[in-house]
Amino acid sequence: MAESGYISDSAASFYQQLEGLLDSGWGIRKKYDALRDVFRRAVNQEISLTNLNFSGTFAKLDYLIKEKGISEAESVRLHGTRRTLNALSEIPDGQLRDSIGSDVKSAAMLVEALLGEPIPKSLRRKLPVDDKPRTWGKFDSGNLRCVVDTWDNEYIHVTEERGGLPLSVCYGQQNVYLTREGRGDWSYLSLLLRRGVQLNLVRVRYDSEICMPELIIYEPDYLVNVTTIASCFETYAESPLVALVNKFKPQPNTLPIHLGNLSGQYLDETVHRSTRSFEEGMMAFFRNNAIGLVACDAMRSREDVAKFYADARMQKSNVEKLIGNDLPKAVGGIDMKKAVLEPTFFSEVLGIQGRLDLLVEKDGEAVIVEQKSGKGAFVPTASPHYNPNRPKPQEKHLVQLMLYRALFVYEFDKYAGQLRHVMLLYSRYPEGLVSTAQRPELMLRAIRMRNLLAYSEILYASEGVGMLDGLTPELLNEKNSNGVLWTRYTRPELNEVLSPIQNASPLERVYFFRFMQFLEKEHLLSKIGNKIKDNSGFASIWLDSLEDKIASGGIYCNLTLDTAAFADSPVTDVTLRFAETDAADTSNFRVGDIVVLYPYKENTEPNACAWMVERGTIADISVDGVRVALRNPQTDSRVFPQTDGIRWAIEHDLFDSSTNALYAGMHSFLTAPIRRRDMLLSQRMPEIDAGRCRKGDYGDFNTLVERAKQARELFLVIGPPGTGKTSFGLLNILREELLEADTSILLLSYTNRAVDEICSKLKEQGIDFIRIGSEISCDKAYHANLLRNKIQQCRTGDAVAGTLKDARVVCATTAALNSNVNLFKIKRFDLAIVDEASQILEPHLLGLMCARSDNADAISRFVLIGDHKQLPAVVQQTEAESRVTEPELLSIGLTDCRRSLFERLLSSFKTVDGYDCRYVYMLTRQGRMHRDIADFPNEAFYGGRLDVVPLPHQLVANTACTSTDGICRLLQLRRVAFVASEKPEMSVSAKTNQVEADMIAAMVERIFRQADRFDYSATVGVIVPYRNQIATVRNAIDRYGIPALHSITIDTVERFQGSQRDYIIYGLTVQQRYQLNFLTDNVFEEDGTLIDRKLNVAMTRARKHLTIVGNPDILAGSAVYRRLMDFMKSRDCYFNVACEKFCAGDFSV
């Protein structure tokens, strides 16, 4: 929560900023940047006071216009300015200069309407009296975004996005375009519609002012996966409930699944024209899928393996024939070097996303191939249509192709003649290449299911999944199936998912449903955006302007391909070059981030929906460019457009699969033994065996190790900054466990960076381990320990199983293990030690804590290590949205779903004078900070319980200083300092502060000048709250012309957690009171004391010296910062010097 509650910016402040930009000498682009900032903040500030979530500024503004009763004329005006602000990169400077006065007037009118204070005379005099009329032209037959106002059984009355005008949309039978002359029924929409819902009207026509679209897409910013839509077309039902139930099914680990994945590999090899033998391909597949294959129950015997090999040979032979011979014949020749494997598409028009198996463009035509390795639809052998070599397509497979066809028609404007070759590839059959024709009725059913799924997912986020409480297989069986498939397979499978929900206790059911709603809302907000952070949510890819994306660091654009870096076939990674050298500084991309990569025409706005995108992972970022490892390697570099005038963009990606693992984990809680469930729900205390004694000697950590050993189910270790929670806490508990014969230990953390640190400690101690994960997310130093490389010499499943069983230590992130729960079918663990546990939300651990192995707990004991006073998990929801109100959950200490399991369990072990020492141990000796630096966080946040180790640097006295330079004296005579900064005269954005940047740069230069040995990665680091300020500080430092300083780390506090530097400078940047909302958004109260997690982490990164720079007038609005400034004054460490004098060192210390 924010320490002081929500602080709003005043109307006077908004007006002052508008007047200031008009008076400034800025260029027109800079003025519009400032105007965009004011307009968006005014809208977002008002929206933040509601309990509603919207995707995009259009829906937010439309809601406020209606809530405030703004006239239609003003509405049109405001929407016109909104559109201008969202398309700045496409508008010439001259046109912007002509419209700046009118658009500032719109912003002022918006502030007046929202906050109720009249526009001041001084500003009004500067605004135009007669505005230039804005014309947007007639509607064309394209696509139109709108917001629902009212509706009846025939018409939906909406506000359209372009000019904010009212419009009536016909969705009844008289709209023959929509119903395909009666073949489709859209009446179901009346049950989904709500005021404020957004719709896409696709290919609009007009009949006497009535809008007649071809398609209506419900909440198009919620992209639904094509595979998910198709999965709802089951033999027993055609319902979105099928997708809901599928969420809870355990990860499939069957022969057909593995055969399908292997068949996909054969498709890749055929397109790549690989010369790899069958045996080599099988070994490669085996290494990449070792856990799943070894854990597969259907691969236990020699006969099972022999059949799998035989089926694989058949699939390989069929794929080579169907793709190598039949496909070229069917389409009149094809150049496989131009084939694209598994291209991804995002369609904002249709509200869908999907990944094709194979796409080839040929003379403007699209050849689309979707592969299926299993059976076609059932055809009786007596039927004249029965052909054992040629399948009849399953309906769900046809649904996928109809949606892909629709995507090419409506998103990419392909016409029927360009879509003659849309095919299913059934690789099980010798004649498995099946061409499919357009099926309008099935396509409309698929769009209906897409709309129902979007509606359902939004409903689950707001109201939960309580409908599961009474759901049975019989109720799901809407087609009244009663054959062998239903009775022997489908019904038992559904019952296995649904019965644990029905059989759960009242407390378990409330717990399950509350966290399910929390996860559903997190998933929704990750797609459409949240109220906490600007430019959030995957939909920002098409909703946000280029300027907004650049400002938030969410895009690399204007990139060029480094064609010289292309390797021979297949192409596994792509290197791109920056147009500007500071691009890496202003982005929020990091190595290991999943991204999308796509081309666009130079001097146009990047658009990921305009054509296919490549998915990949950031492999490297340098000053010159970025390298992306492709998720799906391509055959030839020619599939990447390389002509003049083509530029490339990179944006963040989102995978639904990680969320799906959490849903399955929630369900596994309901199937766990009652003792484990009761412990997790604080219905009983964890078991203790006080008779167990440690075998090793760990010096000061003996007590910790012995208590952790006596805790037979659960133990918590609190690790404040610098106390060595990994180096000593985790490692000593691990070393003791390894003294017990035949024990296996699992080491987990939330981030790959933290797992890398764990691996480094194991290497130092000579402890062997296996790492679960991929090379791209693992430091090169530990590649040899990756499972894939550990089993390089294994030739059989038994050998792999033996390697895993013999490994005593296994390391992974929680996400990697949640995606590889089949590991527990091979191996049990006696102990799991979870580092960073206070950053891990409850559902992320639940599946692991409830996992089973051979009818026993997969993990016997857990040690959770964390510090709830440092930064918690990043969550999309606000405190109000995640707050728990159910009495049953409040009784077990579950007050907020955003709290980690570590924090909730910690509260359950609280006693009058601290924590129950049988279950909780706090590390209290820190070896990082000089004692003067540690004083404030120790007293303010840890109750004075911390002490120094001490290490030499923690006790060293301040040295004498002969310099007359104030900054040099400050750095040598003080260990901590607060430097007051004045407010900049005028900033385009409150997220940049040139005054503080100059002061920080001056300190960095002095640190370099007086350092005996300077190491950019260890000597100094700068922390700022906003990405925008990073480039401002970097530019200020670069002006000193010292190359070594360009590489120092300047980053946000979130990115600095887990790091340390000798010198830390924390530039607070804030210049408006409302910015305290963000600066203090991680404050909570414990035992009557306010704990500011963000400030705690920032201060405790410093080893030898800490300087905080900030505006005292603004910071005085925070109780914690008032206390900090008073502390600094009491130590004679508070400096109030004008920027110019400070940078010159012209002040006394």
Q: Are strands 344-347 and 365-372 parallel, antiparallel or unpaired?
A: unpaired
Confidence bin at 5 (pLDDT 50/70/90): low
- Record the tokens describing residue 265, joined without a space: 């590999």
* Domain count along the chain: 6
Q: Is residue 137 part of a domain?
A: no
pLDDT, tens digit (0-9, with 9 covering 90-100), for 654-687: 988 778 899 999 999 999 999 999 999 999 999 9
Q: Is residue 803 part of a domain?
A: no
> What is the C-alpha to C-alpha distance for residues 695 and 709, in angstroms, rounded to an integer?
10
Dmax over CA atoms of the chain, in Å, equals 102
Q: Say whether pLDDT at 1 is over 60.
A: no
CATH number at residue 163: 2.40.50.140
- DSSP letter for 687, please: P
Backbone φ, ψ for residue 597 (5° rounding): -125, 130
Q: Which residues contact 787 (CB under 8 A, 6 or more apart)?
A: 290, 291, 770, 771, 772, 804
Instruction: Tell me the sheet residues that pair with 574.
Output: 628
What is the average pLDDT score of the chain?
93
Q: Is residue 81 part of a domain?
A: yes
pLDDT, tens digit (0-9, with 9 covering 90-100), for 53-83: 898 899 999 999 999 999 988 999 999 999 9
412, 428, 447 - which closes a domain: 447
Q: Are strands 809-813 and 920-922 parallel, antiparallel or unpaired?
A: unpaired
**What average pLDDT does range 713-717 have in this prediction?**
99
Per-residue pLDDT, 1058: 85
> What is the C-alpha to C-alpha distance for residues 370 and 356, in angstroms, rounded to an integer?
6
Q: Is residue 672 part of a domain?
A: no
- DSSP letter for 126, please: T
The verdict on 918 and 947 lying in the same domain is no
Q: Is residue 507 part of a domain?
A: no
Does residue 67 contact residue 84 with C-beta atoms inside 8 Å? no
Q: Compute CA distances 722 → 285, 678, 759, 1048, whole Å.
A: 43, 35, 19, 22
CA dihedral 84, 86, 87, 89 (to 10 degrees): 120
> What is the C-alpha to C-alpha distance for residues 751 and 759, in angstroms, rounded to an integer?
13
Pick 816 or 552 by higher pLDDT.
Answer: 816
Q: Is residue 723 part of a domain?
A: yes
402, 426, 447 - which closes a domain: 447
Per-residue pLDDT, 49: 87
Does residue 83 contact residue 145 with C-beta atoms inside 8 Å? no
Q: Is residue 966 part of a domain?
A: yes
Does residue 374 contact residue 425 with C-beta atoms inside 8 Å? no
CATH number at residue 391: 3.90.320
CATH number at residue 957: 3.40.50.300
Per-residue pLDDT, 94: 94
The verdict on 998 and 1051 lying in the same domain is yes
Per-residue pLDDT, 1119: 96
In three-state secondary structure terms, 996 is helix
220, 244, 272 - which closes a domain: 220
> What is the C-alpha to C-alpha distance for residues 600 and 120, in angstroms, rounded to an integer?
44
The verdict on 683 and 710 lying in the same domain is yes
- Record the tokens describing residue 368, joined without a space: 């689309």
- Record the tokens describing residue 810, joined without a space: 């296994």
The verdict on 1089 and 971 lying in the same domain is yes
Q: Is residue 131 part of a domain?
A: no
The verdict on 881 and 946 lying in the same domain is no
Per-residue pLDDT, 137: 40
Confidence bin at 52 (pLDDT 50/70/90): confident
- Greatest mean pLDDT among 613-622, 679-688, 1031-1040 lies in 679-688
**What average pLDDT does range 1110-1126 have in this prediction?**
97
- Record the tokens describing residue 425, joined without a space: 């590839």
> What is the C-alpha to C-alpha distance for residues 219 and 308, in angstroms, rounded to an integer?
44
The verdict on 1060 and 969 lying in the same domain is yes
> What is the C-alpha to C-alpha distance for residues 351 and 224, in angstroms, rounded to an integer?
6
Per-residue pLDDT, 660: 87
| First vs last C-alpha separation in the chain | 37
The number of beta carbons lying within 10 Å of the beta carbon of residue 74 is 16
- Record the tokens describing residue 1075, joined without a space: 């910015």
Per-residue pLDDT, 553: 86
The verdict on 1051 and 916 lying in the same domain is no
The number of beta carbons lying within 10 Å of the beta carbon of residue 437 is 10
Q: Are strands 625-634 and 614-621 parallel, antiparallel or unpaired?
A: antiparallel
- DSSP letter for 238, please: B
CATH number at residue 581: 2.40.30
Which domain covers residue 152, as residue numbers?
144-220
**What average pLDDT does range 933-944 have in this prediction?**
97
The verdict on 1016 and 1104 lying in the same domain is yes
- DSSP letter for 112, please: H
Q: Compute CA distances 138 → 92, 130, 135, 659, whole Å.
A: 22, 24, 9, 43
The verdict on 910 and 1011 lying in the same domain is no
Instruction: Tell me the sheet residues that pair with 198.
Output: 147
Sheet of 358-362, strands arranged across: 340-341, 358-362, 365-372, 421-426, 433-435
> What is the C-alpha to C-alpha distance for residues 466 and 514, in angstroms, rounded to an integer?
9
pLDDT, tens digit (0-9, with 9 covering 90-100), for 141-162: 579 999 999 999 999 999 999 8
Per-residue pLDDT, 26: 94
pTM attached to this predicted model: 0.94
Confidence bin at 138 (pLDDT 50/70/90): very low
Pick 562 or 243 by higher pLDDT.
Answer: 243
The verdict on 910 and 968 lying in the same domain is no
Q: Among residues of the chain, what percentage have pLDDT more than 70?
A: 98
Per-residue pLDDT, 1114: 97
> What is the C-alpha to C-alpha distance for residues 560 and 573, in angstroms, rounded to an integer?
14
pLDDT, tens digit (0-9, with 9 covering 90-100), for 548-579: 898 888 999 999 999 887 876 688 999 999 98
Q: Among residues of the chain, what percentage have pLDDT more than 90?
A: 81
Rg of the chain over CA atoms, in angstroms? 31
> Any idea which of 240-244, 300-304, 364-368, 738-742 has the lowest mean pLDDT?
300-304
pLDDT, tens digit (0-9, with 9 covering 90-100), for 884-906: 999 999 999 999 999 999 999 99
- One DSSP character per residue, 159-220 reads EETTT--EEEEE-STT-HHHHTTTT---TTHHHH--TT-EEEEES-EEETTEEE-SEEEEST
The verdict on 939 and 911 lying in the same domain is no
Does residue 1088 contact residue 919 with C-beta atoms inside 8 Å? no
The verdict on 957 and 1091 lying in the same domain is yes
